[in-house]
Amino acid sequence: MTNPAIAVRAGARVSIEVINAHPDTAHGLVITASAVTSGMPMMTAQPAFPGSALWFPGNPAAAGMHAGTLTFTADSPGTYRYLCAVPGHAQKGMTGTFTVN
Ligand SMILES: [Cu+2]
């Protein structure tokens, strides 16, 4: 799946493992309440929930990939957006919807 629409129940404990298969490009994942994907998301995107941001998956693994996990509680119903926080990446399509209901 590419940029799947994600939906969870309100109050759910959410854990997302992020794997960056680009050995030489940083990426991140932020679930944000902001609908804005222009400008510089890294500077403007605020996490919608405490812990719902993984800025730059680091710690290169033996395979050369970068991985990280973000964990948070989706405690407020609403329609959110996830995006890659690296400038320019969300505009290139690294974004999708995250719904809490
Ligand atoms: Cu990216």
pLDDT in tens, 5-44: 999 999 999 999 988 887 777 888 999 986 655 555 554 5
| Mean pLDDT across 42-55 | 79
Q: Answer whether 91's CB lies under 8 Å from 71's CB.
A: no
Write the Ramachandran bin of 35: left for phi over 0, alpha for psi from -120 to 50, otherwise beta. Answer: alpha
Q: How far does residue 19's CA lie from ligand 1's centre (Å)?
A: 11
Q: How far does residue 55's CA lie from ligand 1's centre (Å)?
A: 10
Q: How far does residue 5's CA lie from ligand 1's centre (Å)?
A: 17
Cβ-in-10-Å burial (0-12, 13-18, 19+) of 34 comes to middle
Tell me: the pLDDT tens digits for 52-78? 998 766 555 555 667 889 999 999 999
Model pTM greater than 0.85? no
Q: How far does residue 79's CA lie from ligand 1's centre (Å)?
A: 21
